[in-house]
A and B are shown apart, each in its own frame.
Chain A
Amino acid sequence: MTALSRRTWPFGLIARKIARRLANAVLVLLAAASLAFAALHLTPGDPVTAILGGGTQTPSPETIAAARHEYGLDRPISVQFGLYIARLASGNLGQSFSQHMPVADVLRAQGPATLALMASALLTAWLLAVLSIVFAVGRRTTAFARTTETFFAGLPQFWLAILLLWALGFELQIFPPAGNRGLRSLVLPTLSLAIPLGGFLARVMRDSFDLALHEPFILTARARGTPEWLIRLRHALRHALLPGISLSAWAVGALVGNGVVIEMIFSRRGIGRELFLAVMTHDMPLVSGIILFIALVYILAGIATDALYVVVDPRLKATRS
């Protein structure tokens, strides 16, 4: 039906919107970098230990001093901060202390695994939520679906992960319990993240969905002879999408946080596990690199959310410019 839904975009508005977006993104990244810097300097521990190979080694004071000087850690903190921001601004994420390789390489190696997990978890959560909303018809089924959704939303992800690991990974051995090999290894971590999120999404969208079903335009659609499933999928669901999209932007961030635990449980490669290890070893460049990476994902999720809003509800085009 493209010929009936084509629309025109005013060019000037779009350009202004993009400029404002970019400025916002830079500010968010700057704030994230500053916070990462502050957090690591305020917490106890010494990055030099990480540089010199962790707590098991006992380096001489001279070695420590040399390393301190080499990495600029003996300079005043304001200078360190200035250098740090300048380095980031030039696009250089620096060298990981603990892994002795460029942070960009670490991100390149670990990022795709985490992004794949996030994407598959988000998609699965949406699939579960939409199926539950659209196909729970009738008073009893709806009540059952509602209860199930609330129950799922309340499940702790780490607990669900352990349960799935035990049942499907070890006892029934349907899916591999650990690792990063192939799509099958993605199933259990995805389900652990997606089931509670799907419950949340469904709960958030169901109210709008039920409200939409009582709108006059639904009656018009029924009076046209449109089949009931199509009315639910095409008309009512679309009116319920906006809260779900808002929640998804938040969920992208939450998935990274919860992903830390899930990646540990399933021994997966990924940003979450790297972040955990980097914080433990006070690996300043790696921590800030990962935080900037996550901030970037957040920003992109925000942009995608805004774009999706307008696609779902074109009436917002005027108000969201």
Chain B
Amino acid sequence: MNAISDIGRQDAVLHVDGLSVAFPTPQGLHTVARDISFTLRPGQVVALVGESGSGKSVTARSLIGLAGANAGISARRLTLGTRNLLNLAPSDWRSLRGREIGMVLQDALVALDPLRTIGQEIAEALSAHRWGNRRSRIQRVHDLLKEAGMPDPALRARQRPHELSGGQRQRALIANALALSPPLLIADEPTTALDPTVQTQVLDRLLTLRRNGIGILLISHDLGFVARLADHILVLQHGNVVEQGNAARLLNAPSHPYTRALLEADPLRRPARAIQPARTASPLLSARNLSVRRPGPDGMLRDLVSSVSLDLHPGRTLGLIGESGSGKTTTSRIITGLMRPDQGSVIFKGQAWNGPERSITERSRRPLRRHMAMIYQDPLGSFDPRWTVHDILADAVEAAGRPVTGETVTALLDHVRLSAAIAGRRPRTLSGGQRQRVAIARAIASDPSVIVCDEPVSALDLSVQAQILDLLDALQRELGIAYLLISHDMGVIRRMCDDVAVMQAGRIVEQGPAEIVLRTPSHPFTRALLEAAHALSAPADSHHIVETRAI
């Protein structure tokens, strides 16, 4: 060892040399991460990047002793500051966690105990290490929340995760990990599946922490996000590091094909949708002045959606954008006829499809039902877990009134580029991308003219997202289907949509052809959404200067 690397080790927060993680299986030892080495210094961000199953999360968890009781961890060297992390007793790990290493998980809605107030949760991080007394802990909780940029910390401390906005929740989660100012923070997919505005807030917070000298180990499948933050990147595939190095160099000149594939998967780096020929005169589905009011938690009536009007044209895609709670899902429920509006009407194929009139019932909708299909964010929840793929598709074909043969199911699988061999498997044994393909096959089984896609890819890895979006695109050209695409992701919208409607607080604030709305947005909210999306996916060269907006 030469002198320079020894000095480097001295001030390193975390030094990992030759780390491998393996689990015993009936077939023998299964290695999920192999020979990983990196050094993390104060004020630096090291990122582990890869798709789900690449071993990045388990690597991160092995650094905090939470990879599982039967995980076999080996390394040439594994030190936190001056402390050896190999072969620690459970009680030693416990005293390290929270005090020397903080960890932030994906979504604060599930990563903080939903039954406890965030104040109780953060205070537990203090009391677990016998920090202070009850009174001083409450004070410290308020200070931490204030430091995290939480308005009115004393009030927020008494609220539970579901009572907070997405950004506030995520701030609370980070404050919980930093309660005892650990020098190392592990952030495991800290922004995945969050609204872009919340993502920028999290990014902003992490940048501040880095400036304050905290070492951050970032785990993500999103190279665009990583590019904003990381100094050093390791790209993992099947537990192996396929490429690692300085972030700017790696992002500008990736040498491994897998890294390039990950980069190209970022929807904002892909070409926008080509402008389609002008729309036909009559829309396929037309919604006019939809309004729904429901009592809120305080018993007061609240507009869920208000005066929403949309037109869906054959073979075109209409994108519905907005943050969580903006009324996107309510709109889609009315359009699919799952919910009756208080006012307004939906005309589908020239017939009354939904409205407040009692004469419109599910029975009157039934003849048209098979012309409308749906795809959800989480297909697994929409499958009967005991059914095989064949059962799921055969059921959909039958519901559409068509005879079921082996060929119909094979043809459907063929349409979504799945092999016929998958027909005998059950949804749980499929990958996320395969499940979504099966969901798409089920949707097209009735030969629909409209498919409502509610966040169809936001639960998937970026590289899989790109494949699913390509598939939807191809099916539209083959079958002439119209899509209503609901998403919070600007990249997806830009990639897929001909027309765009932007929703905020139950209203459509801007609507028009995608190339106009996305290029020259007129409403400040649309501009904010676009800025947030670009802030997250800007190229690597400017990643030290960031301007983000807290909302």
Listed in ascending order, the chain A residues whose CB lies under 8 Å from chain B are 1, 3-7, 10, 12-13, 215-217, 219-227, 230, 234-235, 238-239, 312-315, 317-318, 321
Contacts and interface: CB of A to CB of B under 8 A. Distances in A.
Contact of B115 (A7, A224, A314): A314
Size category of the binding interface on chain B: 35 or more
B299 A13 contact: yes
B106 A225 contact: no
B95 interface: yes
Contact of A4 (B94, B101, B112, B158): B158
B115 A221 contact: no
B86 interface: no
Given A4-B120, A224-B125, A216 B111 contact: yes
Instruction: Among B99, B115, B177, find the residue whose CB has the most chain A CB atoms closer than 10 A.
Output: B115
Given A217-B113, A220-B173, A224-B98, A314 B160 contact: yes
A219 B97 CA distance: 11
B103 A223 contact: yes
Contact of B64 (A223, A317, A321): A223
Contacts of B114: 217, 315
Contact of A222 (B97, B106, B117): B97
Interface in B243-300: 297-299
Contacts of B64: 223
Interface in B77-101: 94-99, 101
B71 interface: no
Contact of B98 (A225, A235, A321): A225
A317 B162 CA distance: 12
Instruction: Among A4, A10, A227, A230, find the residue whose CB has the most chain B CB atoms closer than 10 A.
Output: A4
Contacts of A230: 128
B66 A3 contact: no
Contact of A1 (B99, B106, B134, B176): B134
B25 to A, nearest CB: 16
A1 B105 contact: no
Interface of B: 64, 66, 94-99, 101-103, 105-107, 110-117, 119-121, 123-125, 128-129, 134, 138, 141, 157-158, 160, 162, 173, 176-177, 179, 297-299
B299 A4 contact: no
B120 A1 contact: yes
7 contacts: A4-B120, A10-B298, A12-B299, A215-B110, A216-B110, A223-B101, A225-B94
Instruction: Among B117, B157, B162, B177, find the residue whose CB has the most chain A CB atoms closer than 10 A.
Output: B117
A313 B157 CA distance: 17
A3 B107 CA distance: 26
Contacts of B112: 217, 220
Given A315-B114, A315-B160, A216 B106 contact: yes
A6 B115 contact: no
Contact of B66 (A222, A313, A318): A222
Contact of B128 (A13, A226, A314, A321): A226
A41 B129 CA distance: 69
B96 A225 contact: yes
Contacts of B158: 3-7
Given A225-B128, A315-B162, 11 more contacts: A1-B120, A1-B134, A217-B110, A220-B111, A223-B66, A225-B94, A225-B96, A225-B99, A238-B113, A313-B115, A315-B160
